[in-house]
Structure 1
Amino acid sequence: MAESVTLTPERAVLRDKMAGWYEETKRLVFGEHTCERGWGDFDPSLTEGCGPYHAAFPLLDLFGVVSTPRAHEEFYRNAVDSATMRLDPETRILVSGLASPSMADIVLEEAKFMKPFPGLKHELEGRIDVLDVCATPLLTCQRVFKPEQLAVMAFIQDDAREYASGGPYDLIVTDAFLTRFNDKDKAVVLKNWVKMLADDGEIATTWRIGRKDDEPDYGDEEARKRFIYNVTRRMEEWHVSLGTFAEVNTTLDLAEKYAAKMHSYSGQPEEEIQAFMEKFFGDVRISLSPPVYDVTTRLYARIIARKPKK
């Protein structure tokens, strides 16, 4: 777990933004019941549906107690910068799966077609497609982003194992998404990505490093107790007021259910990840992340992979 947080003015702005995401997502999950095709990894009997995942995640993201795009922010920004540096008027990016608006937010902030370029002879008309199987994060994005941001975005509710009709994309970007699938389904997703990439397109993603098995790997009971302690501590350090979150116990309950019920396929050694990706892509480059806290401490492979040449 990282050192204590000092709340600077910049962090206060980030807190207010991401706390707004949390409130909007919580309203969707509990008030409008938007989760019809959400994660089946949680107990179907939970009345909050995707609550332990989508409702809780913006706060857990803010607090730095889960692996999120912001744990790898420079890596993703560099990928977006590379995809948009040619100022192609029709640059297209796909965000494939998201737990909170963070990844879409990073793409919007970094994409050059979102910035003015004096003297440019053509209009930049890039587009960002956002795909998820659950309506909750898609609706959250539509409610928290600005009109000028939404003007270049399209939202697609579909399963990444089935969606292969988009593109061609210059970049497909997603965070720790592949560990949500077994190897058979990973292969289906990767084939779909290859099909949708432009000829010189790339994917940028992370993949948890570790042992390979089919069991949830979110720590033992002691690790989950420390996780809840860290959530509580971070809530205080970020000055998240009880006035903002009237039902703080609901927040802690969601966090506890996230740690107890969240499922992903355990990570694989770096050489296995490399070999698996090379079945589908041409140039595959992997770098290792620093330790990332996500209920327990983990390492991630940061992957850039190019579409294979014909």
Structure 2
Amino acid sequence: MDNDKMNSLYQKFIVEGHSISLKECVGGYPNANDCSWYHGNWMLLRYLGVVSNPYWHEKFYRNALENVCDIKKDNLLVAGTADFSMPLLCSEIGVNNVSVCDICKTPLKICSRVSEYLNLNWNTFAHDICSEISMKYDVVINDAFLSRFKNKEIPLKGIANTLNSGGYYVTTLKMGKLNRGGEVEDSVKKHFIEKVERRYFEHSNSLPEVSIQDIANEYVKKMSSFPVSGEMEVYQLFETAGLKVLLIERDIVEGEYEPSEYFRIIAQK
């Protein structure tokens, strides 16, 4: 989907997504007690291009699904999503039936609305990927998901248990220093907030009227991230979970606060 169509889609659902979050957010992966600050403003920040999203790694995901995983099986699960970006990318690549799970109902309801609007077949259901599930999938996919967890062994074990034997896990994982929320340099924080404000006012005619500085400031204050230290840690984590790393590559993308290095990973059970 080209940028104009993508922007139009976000413009249509930003306000509705925020309203959904006020009713449905009771805690999730980013924050166990309240995730409305996260899900309620994510699509706006995503529209402004200042938060992580799978389209930063589009070529990787396309190659993974087209050339490594057999997408004709149509047995794919998006395990954890902030909005509709990953399910949409999977549909664009050619997966006809996409399942989406998340611990929070807000992104699920957003995905259901977008799926209905685009006449796509997304099956959504609430589930904590860290816990047992009876359904099994040939492909589990998400983007920068593991960075939400300090102890990555727990979600990785859950993902491995969700896969059929021989199934694939496709994901990205940030490398760098941990941030328990607000642990960024003042200069970095200032630059991020100014970037968010500038981009918002450049597009204000197409966006809801909000206190954008407060939104940006709250995101920096509350958003935690637990990257890995290096490639060796990735191999150890995945092998402990019973997943064999088939491909691992590194690249630098725009990042949220500043350019960031990510691992792109394809693993198999």
Q: Give the alignment's TM-score, normalised by structure 2.
A: 0.88
Q: Measure how far apart 1:26 and its partner are.
A: 0.9
Q: Does 1:156 align with 2:139?
A: no
CA contact (8 A) 1:96 1:174 kept: yes
Corresponding residue to 2:61 among 42, 60, 76: 76
Say if 2:81 and 2:102, in contact at 8 Å, map to a contact too: yes
Counterpart CA distance in 2 for 1:95 and 1:70 is 15
Paired residue total: 268
Which residue identity lines up with residue 36 of structure 1 in the other structure?
V
Matched, 1:286 2:248: yes
- Structure 1, gaps ≥5 residues long: 1-8, 114-126
Q: Select the structure that is richer in helix.
A: 2
Provide structure 2 residue ranges, at least 5 long, that are not aligned to the other structure: none
Give the RMSD, CA atoms, in angstroms.
2.5
- Structure 2 Cα separation of the partners of residues 132 and 61 of structure 1: 18
Q: Indicate the residue corresponding to 1:14 in structure 2.
A: 6
1:128 aligned to 2:98?
A: yes
Hey, what's the Cα distance between the residues in 1 that align with 2:58 and 2:2?
16
Aligned to 1:225: 190
Bigger Cα Rg: 1
Q: Which runs of 4+ in 1 moved over 6 A?
A: none
Greater relative contact order (Cα 8 A, min sep 6): structure 1 or 2? 1
User: Could you tell me which residue of structure 1 aligns to residue 28 of structure 2?
Assistant: 38
Q: Structure 1, residues 9-29: CA drift from partner, whole Å, max 9, x if none?
A: 943322111122322211212
Q: Distance in 1 between matches of 2:2 and 2:99?
A: 28
Q: Is the 8 A contact 1:209 1:269 kept in 2?
A: yes
Cα distance in structure 1, aligned partners of 2:176 and 2:101: 27
Deviations 1:209-242 (A, max 9, x none): 124x5744752232122111111222244x3416
User: Where does residue 119 of structure 1 map in the other structure?
Assistant: none
C-alpha distance in 2 between matches for 1:297 and 1:52: 24
Mapped partners of 2:135, 2:213: distance in 1 = 38
Change in Cα spacing, 1:172 to 1:149, as seen in structure 2 (3 Å) is farther
Partner of 2:173 in structure 1? 207
Amino acid at match of 1:301: F
2:205 corresponding residue in structure 1: 241
The aligned amino acid for 1:98 is: T
2:134 is equivalent to residue 165 of structure 1? yes
Give, in whole Å, the separation in 1 of the partners of 2:26 and 2:181: 23
Identity of aligned residues (%): 30
Q: Note if contact 1:282-1:306 (Cα within 8 Å) is conserved in structure 2.
A: yes
Deviation at 1:102, TM superposition (A): 0.5
